[in-house]
Chain A
Amino acid sequence: MIVDRKPLSFWERMYLPSIWGGLKITSKHFYNTVFKGQTGGNTLSKGYYPETKWDVAEGYRGAPYLVKDQDGATKCVSCQLCEFVCPPKAIKITPPGADSQSADRKNAEKMPREFEINMLRCIFCGFCQEVCPEEAIFLQKDYSLTGLARGEMIFNKEKLLSLGGTSGGIQKWKHKLEEAKEQEVFPVETK
């Protein structure tokens, strides 16, 4: 579809009224800022950033961290879906492998050996949180991440877990284990 451009009137083509309008608006703001002190920092919030910390609203998507369950165990099972979905490839997971100690909770067989997020690459899109089948990673409220070296900005599993805190949730592995125990011992030993 082609929309015809509206023909400009003479004054519009002279640009002068627009310039005058711009001058009026900018002058008004200039006057209000300089002589009345009406800056955004004064009128819209309580003050300026480093002194007055920002009130982070619910649902804000800050840095992604790993969370633990109610029992303090790692929720991540190393399914690597977040690594797969991560658009900037910021997540790197080292799977446990067959011979390493599987997980710090008995009910799930697997947990990552290492889990790294490169916060310099992370774009805070929230895909990892969305894709996680275990509710183990959440975008939390940290918005100011700083470091003195690139290496510092690669957060490892330990750091991510300590920053992430605890988030309960459904605990499906625990329930599975309880359910299995209720069904007594499996009738025949298959050894």
Chain B
Amino acid sequence: MDSLLQHWNSLAPLTQSVVFSTLKVLGVLFLALLPMVAYSVLAERKISAFIQDRQGPNRASLPLLGSIPILGPLLTKLGIWQPLADGVKSILKEDFTPSYVRKAYFWLAPAITLIPAFMTVGVIPFGSTLGSQKMVIADLNVGILYTFGIVSLGVYGIVLAGYASNSKYPFLGGIRSTAQMISYELAMGMSVIPVFMIIGKLNLSDIITHQAQHGWMALPFMATQQTFASYLLWPCMIVSFGIFLVSAFAETNRLPFDLPESETELVAGYNTEYSSMKFALFFMGEYASMITASCMMVVLFFGGWSLPFFGLDQPATSIIGGLAHIAIFVAKILFFMVVFIWVRWMLPRFRYDQLMDLGWRRFIPVALANILVTAVVMYFVR
């Protein structure tokens, strides 16, 4: 053990950082993101069941673990093993490729949907530090620009799926998705400009640090040292957050804005012709985008990993503190995941004209006005 540590310390700093980055990527992807996606689906099913007076998945069980007294049946009843069963099912089901599809694009589309959703996580600071390592895969100076750039790639997967399927419902779904995503990207982008005007930086880690010191953007009282200026800018931030939240729903194709796949009109929209694992990739892509969107909201408006109690607003110095920060971040994400899920079972779908009306005629003007108002307030505050 000691020799191993010695060997490690003798390595060049570049090598160390490469190894650490790889570990972080793999860790975040396979230990955090994918399980989160899987269990978001379970949460979705359970919460929807509870809202609809049902029990939700409560039968999938594992041979040995399921027979542990008390704990086994309890876990089974909670549906803990259901994501495993779902995964196995997705892989084993017949992967059907209709004869009339454009095959290359048809195979490409699910990947193109999933990859951007995962890539965005790369710049999210999901904790302060753990030991000497910053808890972010890539601490980009233009983190938010990168995020928006990658997120907007997500639409290609859906459009491609609609085009490649070569049948009418996916095609309509694809067209709807294009218009919807582009419209709401505008509103979304403009809604966060005030945040950067206040903070003055695009690096997401710096944004969190700023919030830890001066209060969260959406909740200015969550700070150890409260400033009058942040209270003055509160209304602007509320508007920003509101627009960002609604746009996030539209960007992730979640109800009430799931028009690209609205089953009552388009069967299943862009993924009508998909089955088996290819369909599962779309499905995972949707939940991964939800997680990404939650991350963004937490980072931009809710102080990221920080909490203004017990000294948790400062970057961690101990391993325990680092883990606590990660836990805080994850807890905040989970809250927004529940919001995403709950809204789906609460609100009916918008009509397409209402959707476009909301995006273009309300959110974009309001977001523009918000930028102006923020600027004016800031002029007087400074």
Chain A residues engaging chain B, CB cutoff 8 angstroms: 18-19, 22-23, 25-26, 29-30, 32-34, 38-41, 43, 48
User: Does B50 contact A30, Cβ atoms closer than 8 Å?
Assistant: yes
Q: Separation in Å of the A173 CB from the closest CB of chain B? A: 48
Q: Which residues of chain B are within 8 angstroms of A30 by Cβ–Cβ distance?
A: 47, 50-51
A112 to B49, CA, bound (A): 49
Q: Does B345 contact A (CB under 8 A)?
A: yes
Seed contacts A18-B347, A19-B347, A40-B54; 14 additional CB < 8 Å A-B pairs: A19-B346, A22-B346, A26-B342, A29-B50, A29-B52, A30-B47, A30-B51, A32-B53, A33-B49, A33-B50, A33-B51, A39-B54, A39-B55, A41-B54
B2-51 residues with Cβ-Cβ distance < 8 A to A are: 47, 49-51
Residues of B within 8 A of A (CB): 47, 49-55, 342, 345-347
Q: Are A34 and B347 in contact (CB under 8 A)?
A: no
**CA A25 to CA B51, docked complex, whole Å:** 9
Residue of A nearest to B246 (CB): A15
Flag if B51 contacts A29 (CB, 8 Å).
Answer: yes
Does the CB pair B347–A22 fall under 8 Å? yes
CB neighbours of B49 from chain A (8 A) = 33
* B47 nearest CB neighbor, chain A only: A30
Quick check: A40 and B53 within 8 Å, CB to CB?
Answer: yes
Distance, CA A32 to CA B52, complexed state (A): 10
Q: Is the CB of A26 within 8 A of B53?
A: no
Chain A residues with CB below 8 A from B345, complex form? 26
B-side contacts of A38, CB under 8 Å: 53
23 sample A-B contacts, Cβ–Cβ < 8 Å, listed by A number: A18-B347, A19-B347, A22-B346, A22-B347, A23-B342, A25-B346, A26-B345, A26-B346, A29-B53, A30-B50, A30-B51, A32-B53, A33-B49, A33-B50, A33-B51, A33-B53, A33-B54, A34-B50, A39-B53, A39-B55, A40-B53, A41-B54, A41-B55
Chain B contacts of A23 at CB under 8 A? Answer: 342, 346
In angstroms, Cα B52 to Cα A83, docked, is 41
Q: Which residues of B contact A39 (CB under 8 A)?
A: 53-55
Return A95 CB to nearest CB of chain B, in Å.
Answer: 36
Q: Please name all residues of chain B whose beta carbon is closer than 8 Å to the beta carbon of A48 when the two chains form the complex.
A: 55
Residue numbers in A under 8 Å from B55 (CB-CB): 39, 41, 48
Are the C-beta atoms of A26 and B54 separated by less than 8 Å?
Answer: no
Which residues in B have their C-beta under 8 angstroms from that of A25?
346
Residue of B nearest to A34 (CB): B50
Q: State in angstroms the CA–CA spacing of A23 and B343 once bound together.
A: 8
